[in-house]
């Protein structure tokens, strides 16, 4: 193995280890009577992923929305999470461990392909090393602007915009990012092997379409922008006759990417329009981009170095540099297209920016000595926001913050419900508990997620009103029955909301420390 690859592998292993160590620490530092949830970043969505995996672990290849009182018919969505659930069932490994194993493997593939991209696009070894370090550890200025100006930049609020957080947060972002990188590499490489090139394009398109369909738009935009740029230059330099031989071989891999991803995009679009529950979810699934300044600060020194790299090294002089520029410019434009998923399109934008930043750092430091010291300075400039995200999550666990811990009694009740309550039953629980129950038991909840529960605000308000309800038990019982609620979960989180009179009218079917489970008898 060449020395450069050995060094790159060492840095990649260091980044992956850094993404694992906080999980290990959190697992051993939860306060007595509590258990670490397994999520230090965005646990709300984390449990929704486990709920999808739970359906696969129970043998289903069709997804039904667990955070809806009436889930509706199953659909072929979230197939990657369903597959991971099946993998859990086949191996007997708990879903949370399968989730993190998939996360690490996906991140390893993502970082491997990142380095291949830098090998292809960056001629200088020092620039490749800088670009890799920026990608593995880099973030923006959120660590500075949040405490000083109470401004949460994108590196603190949009995990998919930062590669380390992509590797740290969940299982599907890294795999989608790897497919995105693979698609870009297919556009550049294997011109002499058109069959293999097309097959890999179809594979990358299929993966990104199945795992994170929105991100296919970033791949299409980068590919077609580059292609039009290259075709224009080729025509000007060689004339129309040469363009006839050039246009299809270079367009074929891009069309292959489209062909792989398009069926998934079309199916998702169709389901989101005709499915009675998924369509309601889709209407409130708004992930809009923050103002441009949040992104500028969120990329911080990386963006500054990228601008320096564009200015000083003139990457537009090579086809590889033009692809980086096409990717970066088209990606920035996509952040503000009129679509409800704008910020999702930030996934992958960091990669061309880091490559150009590597060129910028190289252009500033190539003639300076003490390269190791300069490398340390580079890491110190770009890493603090990631450290802030990690330390905030760890602090939450050590302090026993409800978002990142389970109460042991809750886990006992979840496990009992799996074995003793009918599959598909509707259970009433506090918002946080409702977010978690479907990850452990095949049950539906009245409210469990701000996007994935149809009419989420009204349903959340209804849950809180039920637990706060005073007055007669009869009126409360009537509301429970009319809502179709069959069981009630009443633990520490529910007790914080209220102690409703209607509890006395329910049949207690289980008690686990501070948690009680009730059956609603409609007779």
Looking at the whole model, is its pTM more than 0.85?
yes
Residue 450's nearest CA partner among 3, 47, 14 is: 47
| Residue 1, pLDDT score | 47
Spell out where 315-363 has E strands. none
Beta-strand pair 426-428/444-445 = parallel
Beta-strand pair 405-407/444-445 = unpaired
Residue 78's nearest CA partner among 100, 59, 93, 63 is: 63
Instruction: Compute the distance between CA of residue 61 and CA of residue 80 in angstroms, rounded to an integer.
Output: 10
Q: Are 183 and 175 in contact (CB under 8 A)?
A: no
CA 456 centroid distance within chain:
21
Instruction: Compute the distance between CA of residue 426 and CA of residue 70 in angstroms, rounded to an integer.
Output: 9
Instruction: Compute the distance between CA of residue 91 and CA of residue 56 in angstroms, rounded to an integer.
Output: 13
Pair of tokens at residue 385: 């926001």
Residues 36-88: pLDDT tens digits? 999 999 999 999 999 999 999 999 999 999 899 888 889 999 999 999 999 99
Helix axes 431-440, 408-420, angle to 10 degrees: 50
Query: How deeply is 211 buried, as exposed, middle or buried, from its count of CB atoms within 10 A (0-12, 13-18, 19+)?
Result: buried
Minimum mean pLDDT among 344-358, 362-376, 454-468: which range? 362-376
Q: Is the pLDDT of residue 176 over 50?
A: yes
pLDDT grade, residue 126 (50/70/90)?
Answer: confident
Q: Is the pLDDT of residue 2 over 60?
A: no
The average pLDDT across 159-167 equals 95
User: φ, ψ for residue 103 (rounded to 5)?
Assistant: -60, -50
Unique residue bearing structure tokens 């995009």: 265
Q: Are 275 and 75 in contact (CB under 8 A)?
A: yes
Minimum mean pLDDT among 189-193, 257-261, 354-358: which range? 189-193
In a 13 Å sphere around the CA of 489, the CA atoms on its Cβ side amount to: 34
Domain ranges in the chain? 3-36+94-396, 404-519
Q: Is the pLDDT of residue 207 over 50?
A: yes
Instruction: Compute the distance between CA of residue 184 and CA of residue 118 in angstroms, rounded to an integer.
Output: 12
| Residue 479, pLDDT score | 87
Instruction: Compute the distance between CA of residue 102 and CA of residue 178 in angstroms, rounded to an integer.
Output: 13
CA dist 349 → 173, 339, 433 (Å): 13, 17, 35
CA angle 213, 218, 220 (to 5 degrees): 90
Helix or strand (DSSP H, E) at 279:
helix 278-284
Pair of tokens at residue 213: 């369909």
| Residue 471, pLDDT score | 66
Residues 296-339: pLDDT tens digits? 999 999 999 999 999 999 998 999 999 999 999 999 999 999 98
| Residue 60, pLDDT score | 94
In the three-class reduction of DSSP (H, G, I as helix; E, B as strand; rest coil), residue 498 is classed as coil
Q: Are 447 and 459 in contact (CB under 8 A)?
A: yes
Pair of tokens at residue 56: 């696969």
Instruction: Compute the distance between CA of residue 327 and CA of residue 221 in angstroms, rounded to an integer.
Output: 7
Residue 435's nearest CA partner among 177, 22, 50 is: 50
Query: How deeply is 401 buried, as exposed, middle or buried, from its count of CB atoms within 10 A (0-12, 13-18, 19+)?
Result: middle
Concatenated DSSP letters of 4-71: HHHHHHHHHHHHHHHHHHHHHHHHHHSPTTEEE-S-SS-HHHHHHHHHHHHHHHTT-SSB--TTSSS-
Query: How deeply is 60 buried, as exposed, middle or buried, from its count of CB atoms within 10 A (0-12, 13-18, 19+)?
Result: middle
Residues 6-28: pLDDT tens digits? 888 898 999 999 999 999 999 99
Across-strand partners of 444? 426
Q: Is the pLDDT of residue 491 over 60?
A: yes
Instruction: Compute the distance between CA of residue 46 and CA of residue 48 in angstroms, rounded to an integer.
Output: 5
pLDDT grade, residue 246 (50/70/90)?
Answer: confident
| Residue 250, pLDDT score | 86
Pair of tokens at residue 434: 């409702």
Name, in order, each residue with C-beta under 8 angstroms of 478's C-beta and a sequence gap of 6 or more: none
The average pLDDT across 429-456 equals 93
Q: Which of 35-49, 366-380, 472-486 is modeled with the greatest confidence?
A: 35-49
Q: Are 227 and 246 in contact (CB under 8 A)?
A: no
Residue 211's nearest CA partner among 250, 170, 249, 272 is: 170
Average pLDDT of every residue of the chain: 91
In the three-class reduction of DSSP (H, G, I as helix; E, B as strand; rest coil), residue 182 is classed as helix
Instruction: Compute the distance between CA of residue 164 and CA of residue 173 in angstroms, rounded to an integer.
Output: 11
């Amino acid at each position: 193995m060449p020395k450069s690859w050995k060094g790159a592998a060492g840095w990649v292993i260091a980044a992956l280890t850094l993404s694992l160590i906080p999980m290990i620490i959190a697992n051993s530092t939860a306060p007595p009577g509590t258990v670490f949830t397994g999520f230090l970043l965005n646990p709300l969505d984390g449990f929704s992923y486990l709920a999808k995996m739970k359906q696969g672990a129970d043998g289903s290849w069709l997804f039904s929305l667990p955070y809806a009182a009436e889930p509706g018919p199953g659909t072929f969505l979230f197939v990657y999470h369903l597959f991971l659930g099946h993998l859990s069932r086949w191996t007997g490994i708990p879903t949370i461990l399968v989730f993190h194993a998939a996360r690490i493997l996906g991140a390893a593939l993502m970082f491997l392909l990142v380095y291949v991209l830098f090998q292809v696009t960056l001629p200088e070894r020092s620039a490749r090393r800088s670009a890799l370090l920026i990608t593995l550890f880099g973030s923006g200025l959120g660590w500075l602007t949040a405490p000083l100006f109470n401004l949460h930049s994108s590196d603190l609020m949009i995990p998919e915009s930062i590669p380390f957080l992509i590797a740290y947060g969940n299982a599907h972002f890294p795999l989608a990012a790897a497919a995105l990188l693979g698609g870009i590499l297919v556009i550049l490489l294997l011109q002499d092997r058109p069959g293999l090139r097309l097959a890999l394009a179809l594979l990358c398109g299929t993966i990104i379409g199945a795992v994170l369909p929105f991100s296919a738009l970033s791949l299409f935009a980068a590919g077609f922008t580059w292609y039009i740029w290259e075709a224009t230059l080729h025509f000007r330099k060689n004339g129309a006759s040469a363009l006839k031989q050039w246009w299809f071989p270079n367009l074929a891999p891009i069309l292959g990417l489209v062909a792989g991803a398009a069926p998934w995009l079309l199916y998702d679009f169709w389901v989101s329009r005709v499915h009675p529950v998924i369509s309601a979810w889709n209407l409130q699934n708004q992930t809009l981009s923050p103002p441009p300044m949040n992104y500028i600060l969120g990329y911080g020194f990386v963006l500054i170095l990228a601008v320096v790299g564009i200015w000083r090294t003139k990457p537009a002089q090579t086809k590889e540099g033009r692809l980086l520029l096409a990717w970066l410019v088209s990606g920035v434009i996509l952040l503000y297209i009129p679509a409800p998923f704008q910020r999702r399109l930030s996934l992958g934008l960091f990669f061309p920016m880091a490559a150009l930043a590597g060129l910028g750092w190289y252009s500033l430091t190539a003639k300076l000595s003490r390269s190791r010291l300069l490398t340390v300075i580079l890491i110190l400039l770009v890493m603090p926001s990631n450290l802030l995200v990690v330390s905030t999550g760890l602090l939450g666990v050590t302090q026993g913050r409800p978002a990142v811990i389970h109460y042991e009694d809750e886990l006992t009740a979840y496990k009992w419900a799996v074995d003793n309550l009918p599959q598909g039953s509707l259970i009433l629980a506090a918002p946080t508990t409702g977010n978690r129950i479907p990850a452990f038991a095949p049950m539906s909840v009245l409210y469990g997620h701000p996007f994935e529960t149809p009419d989420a605000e009204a349903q959340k308000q209804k849950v809180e009103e039920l637990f706060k309800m005073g007055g007669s038990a009869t009126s409360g019982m009537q509301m429970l029955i009319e809502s179709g609620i069959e069981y009630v979960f009443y633990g520490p989180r529910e007790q914080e909301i209220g102690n409703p009179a209607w509890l006395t009218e329910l049949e207690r079917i289980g008690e686990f420390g501070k948690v009680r489970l009730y059956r609603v008898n409609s007779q």
